[in-house]
A and B are shown apart, each in its own frame.
Chain A
Amino acid sequence: MPLVRNGKIAGDEFVHVADDAEIPGDGAILISSARFLADAETLSRRAGKTGVIWPNNRDVDDLVPYLDRLAAVALVFPIFRDGRAYSQARLLRERHSYKGELRATGQVLRDQFVFMLRAGFDTFEVRKESDAEAFAQTAKRYSVFYQPTGDGRLTALHRRMQQRHSESAGQ
């Protein structure tokens, strides 16, 4: 499955470690939330990068104490019409100031890229090769946005205000 990171197809440095497999001391790993929470203090301090796959039906509040020690959080779209992880992503980025990698996993298709970028995702496990290849182009599909999110894009309302102010300043 192709990985898109910061806008480009990239290799995945993280290894998915199953719940019954041994956790290596170093190297970047992605583990389940259950495994992580069972020993969060130790795991979040291991030498290698640690990332957690967080289910979309569990409050992200439970993850908050460890956020600054996590290298990645992977949120899940079990089917693409299940949109819970969009809220989780915004909460992690905007309310809890999470700065690490935020990864979209599951049924990730081209047609969600813009929404996901706006919600704060920067890494995508994309189902189809053709969608991954179309990432850069798809991400530019929209140039105007009605809603403010943490991605910093100016909203239409604010652009209008700026326009008004520059017009009145020019008079």
Chain B
Amino acid sequence: MYAYDELDRTIINERVSEFRDQVKRRLSGELTEDEFKMLRLQNGVYLQLHAYMFRVAIPYGTLSSKQLRRLAHVARRYDRGYGHFTTRQNIQFNWIKLAELPDALSDLADVGIHAMQTSGNNTRNVTSDQWAGVAPDEIEDPRIWSELIRQYTTLHPEFSFLPRKFKFAITASAHDRAAIKVHDIGLRLHKNAEGETGFEVLVGGGLGRTPFIAKTIKPFVPGRDLLSYIEAILRVYNQYGRRDNIYKARIKILVHELGIEKFAQEVEDEWLQMRDSALTLDDEVVEDIRSRFSYPVYEKLPHMPEELKKAAHDPYFEAWRKNSVAPHKVTGYAIVTLSLKPVGGPPGDATADQMDAIADLADKYSFGEIRVGHEQNLALPHVARRDLPALWRELDKIGVATPNVNLVSDIIACPGLDYCSLANARSIPIAQELTRRFANHDTANLIGRLHVNISGCINACGHHHVGHIGILGVEKNGEEFYQITIGGRADENAVVGTLIGPAVPYGEVADVVEDIVEAYLALRARPDELFIDTVKRLGVEPFRERVYATR
């Protein structure tokens, strides 16, 4: 956990007081809605279909139990008793009142949480691997650098009015759990031949209307130069990114139109002029940030304790353990994923009571720490393996032990037409129906790893392009239709999925997904050939045939 110091606290308190004044001026009419819009967006406030929506940042997906309890408090006091975890390590509250927002922000600021730049055309919440600091294959904790970038991008005087939104993601593992290739800037931490820490910098990834996988702009930028290199990219983008058309304003379009070589040259020219500046991160500056991250003091524990051996006879426990428990870098400990995808429920939602209960369990079993992943699930990052059976029983009681992590019912979905004013079609009911269709755990397990992603419009908040099965809601003559893609993925081998054929109406989406899954089961070479690998081997054609043969 990163501990705020007096300076961090001062900034967020000053921000709350500024926003309080802005809300006051809006309510008195001194600010027009047009003037206020940009200001509220920069504080995470959208106007949705029914009410204001409030998006709060959970930088690099790390929360303390105290912070999670405060989120529960906000849900209860200012909203309708629940919150929605998003694909970018944020939480959204859907029914907030404008006049109460400053108080909600102030309550959050007390525990070091803010909503700065969670929307608007600025640098957004910095996201990272939800297993940062505990993953066995990690080079070093990427959150140190995430926090440096969080501070650098917060209230930036030059880059708060960019052509369009701008998102960073960082990973420090070979297996990318942060989807860095679909971000405006993706950073892969690695070490060069001299053992120096640095970053492969990728640029121009993004989904939306025109999906692009990010390209490498520089294979190695030393850690000390990270901020100056980022500033060079942002300055080139701020000046030359398109502002004439919001659909062409993301950096991915600039990179695409210039070509990566030309864009890289522009950045290099800029960078060489300011590389040695106050942005240089001396070792002691990095160490200072590192020193404010606290780590648990682990016990020496066995890998296979008696409690676990005993529980292995319970098939329900085993079903959960196999899908929800991941190896930890310390022997005797595990990372536990909490599924926010119950059968029939909206993906990513948690009630205030669940949040409080999870905070208590984090205190009891995970050194008071909780993580939020881009798959819209939570995780307890430091659970002693001997505690797994007891923890499982408690998680099951509060409904977050559905044994479906990474399976077909572990669906990523945007809020869709049920909440969002941009949406063309509903997302949540599609997800709910799919979880019912695949509610049988044995079937889901037989299918294996399969990521279904649903977006209610072309803005792609549900990341449908990179779902193994992607579902995109569109509007056709006033009716909800859905385009289906397959073969997408968001990890280190990121690729955009391929459309299988004409869009299908709302009522047929779940049938189509079932057809695709049945086709896969019939086509896979071996039981352990994953869906995504079968699609890669055979292409979309056999799936298309199966789906459209009878339609």
Interface residues as binary, A6-50 with B (CB distance below 8 Å gives 1, 0 otherwise): 000000000000000000000000000000000000000000000
A109 at the interface (CB under 8 A from B): yes
- Chain A residue nearest in CB terms to B35: A109
Contact of B7 among A81, A82, A116, A160 (CB under 8 A): A160
Q: Are B11 and A142 in contact (CB under 8 A)?
A: yes
Q: Answer whether A141 and B14 are a contact pair too, CB < 8 Å, given A87-B158, A114-B157.
A: yes
B39 and A87 contact, CB distance less than 8 A = no
Known: A109-B35, A155-B278. A84 touches B10 (CB 8 A): no
Chain A residues within CB distance 8 Å of chain B: 80-84, 86-88, 90, 95, 109, 111, 114-116, 118-119, 130, 141-149, 155-161, 164
B245 at the interface (CB under 8 A from A): no
Asked if B279 CB lies within 8 Å of chain A CBs, one says yes
A81-B156 in contact (CB<8A): no
Query: What is the chain A residue whose CB lies nearest that of B280?
Result: A148
Q: Are A118 and B157 in contact, CB atoms less than 8 angstroms apart?
A: yes
Judging by beta carbons under 8 Å apart, are B8 and A84 in contact?
no
With A141-B18, A146-B152, A148-B277: A161-B284 Cβ-Cβ less than 8 Å: yes
Q: Does B422 contact A (CB under 8 A)?
A: no
Distance of A141 Cα from B21 Cα, bound (Å): 11
Least CB distance, A40 to chain B, in whole angstroms:
22
A–B complex contacts, Cβ < 8 Å, 30 sampled: A81-B121, A81-B161, A82-B243, A83-B159, A83-B160, A84-B239, A84-B243, A86-B157, A86-B158, A111-B39, A115-B157, A141-B14, A141-B17, A142-B11, A142-B14, A143-B14, A144-B7, A144-B8, A144-B11, A146-B152, A146-B155, A146-B156, A147-B152, A148-B278, A148-B279, A156-B7, A160-B5, A160-B7, A160-B288, A164-B284
Given contacts A81-B121, A144-B11, contact A119 B288 (CB under 8 A): no
Are A83 and B155 interface neighbours, CB within 8 A? no
Docked-complex contact A144 and B10, CB < 8 angstroms: yes
The docked-state distance in angstroms from the alpha carbon of A147 to that of B151 is 8
Q: Report if B162 contacts A (CB, 8 A).
A: yes
Tally chain B residues at the interface, Cβ within 8 Å: 37
Q: How far is A86 from B10 in the complex, measured between Cα atoms in Å?
A: 25
Specify which of B38, B151, B162 is in contact with A146 (CB 8 Å cutoff): B151
Considering only residues 127-171 of chain B, those with a C-beta below 8 Å from chain A are 151-152, 154-162
Interface string of B262-275 (1 = CB under 8 A from A): 00000000000110
Q: Please, what's the 1-or-0 string for B87-103, where 1 marks a CB less than 8 Å from any CB in chain A?
A: 00000000000000000
Q: Is the pair B288, A164 in contact by a Cβ cutoff of 8 Å?
A: yes
Interface centre among B235, B243, B274 (most CB of A within 10 A): B243
B331 contacts A by Cβ under 8 Å: no
Q: Is the CB of B11 within 8 A of A147?
A: no
Given the known inter-chain contacts A84-B239, A87-B238, A160-B7, please indicate yes or no for A147 contacting B288, CB distance below 8 A. no
Known A130-B30, A147-B156; judge A156-B161 contact (CB<8 A).
no
Known: A95-B273, A157-B151. A86 touches B238 (CB 8 A): yes
Interface secondary structure of A, over-half rule: helix
Nearest neighbor of B42 in chain A, beta-carbon distance:
A111
Min CB–CB distance A56 → chain B (angstroms): 9
Q: In the complex, which residues of chain B have a beta carbon less than 8 angstroms from the beta carbon of A116?
A: 157
Is B285 engaged at the interface, CB distance under 8 Å to the other chain?
Answer: yes
Q: A83-B238, A142-B14, A144-B14 are in contact. Are A149 and B5 (CB under 8 A)?
A: no
Nearest 10 CB-CB pairs, A to B?
Answer: A83-B161, A148-B278, A118-B157, A115-B157, A156-B7, A146-B151, A86-B158, A144-B10, A144-B11, A144-B7
Give every chain A residue within 8 A of B284 (Cβ-Cβ). 161, 164
The verdict on B197 contacting chain A, using a C-beta distance below 8 Å, is: no
In the docked arrangement, what's the CA distance between A117 and B268, Å?
Answer: 28
Determine whether B22 belongs to the interface, using a CB cutoff of 8 Å to chain A.
Answer: yes
Distance (whole angstroms) from the CB of A155 to the closest CB of chain B: 7
Interface residues, chain B, with chain A CB atoms under 8 Å away: 5, 7-8, 10-11, 14, 17-18, 22, 30, 35, 38-39, 121, 151-152, 154-162, 235, 238-239, 243, 273-274, 277-279, 284-285, 288
Chain A residues whose CB sits within 8 angstroms of the CB of B30 once the complex forms:
130
B282 to A, closest residue via Cβ: A161
A115 to B154, CA, bound (A): 12
B495 to chain A, nearest CB (A): 33
New contact pairs (15) apart from A111-B22, A156-B11, CB-CB < 8 Å: A80-B35, A80-B161, A83-B238, A86-B157, A87-B235, A88-B239, A111-B39, A115-B158, A118-B157, A119-B157, A142-B18, A144-B8, A149-B157, A156-B151, A161-B284
Question: In the complex, what's the smallest C-beta–C-beta distance from B230 to chain A, in angstroms?
Answer: 11
Distance in angstroms between the alpha carbons of A111 and B10 in the assembled complex: 18
Given contacts A87-B235, A111-B39, A155-B278, contact A161 B157 (CB under 8 A): no
- Identity of the chain B residue whose Cβ is nearest the Cβ of A128 in the assembled complex: B30
Q: Given the complex, which residues of B lie within 8 Å of A109, measured CB to CB?
A: 35
Residues of A within 8 A of B157 (CB): 86, 114-116, 118-119, 147, 149
- Cβ-defined contact, A84 with B273, below 8 A: no
A95 to B91, CA, bound (A): 40
Residue from A83, A141, A145 having most chain B Cβ neighbours under 10 A: A83
- Residues of B within 8 Å of A118, CB to CB, are 157
Q: A145 to B11, alpha carbons, bound, how many Å?
A: 8
Shortest Cβ gap from B353 to chain A (Å): 36
A151 to B121 Cα, complex, angstroms: 24
Output the least CB separation between B135 and chain A (Å): 27
For A86, the chain B residues whose CB sits under 8 A away are 157-161, 238
* A114 to chain B: closest residue by CB: B157
Residues on B with C-beta less than 8 A from A149 are: 157-158
Residue on A with the closest CB to B120? A81
Q: Which residues of A contact B239 (CB under 8 A)?
A: 84, 87-88
Q: How far is the CA of A74 from the CA of B8 in the complex (A)?
A: 34
B365 smallest CB distance to A (angstroms): 33
CB <8 Å contact, A84 and B14: no
Is the Cβ of A81 less than 8 Å from the Cβ of B238?
Answer: no
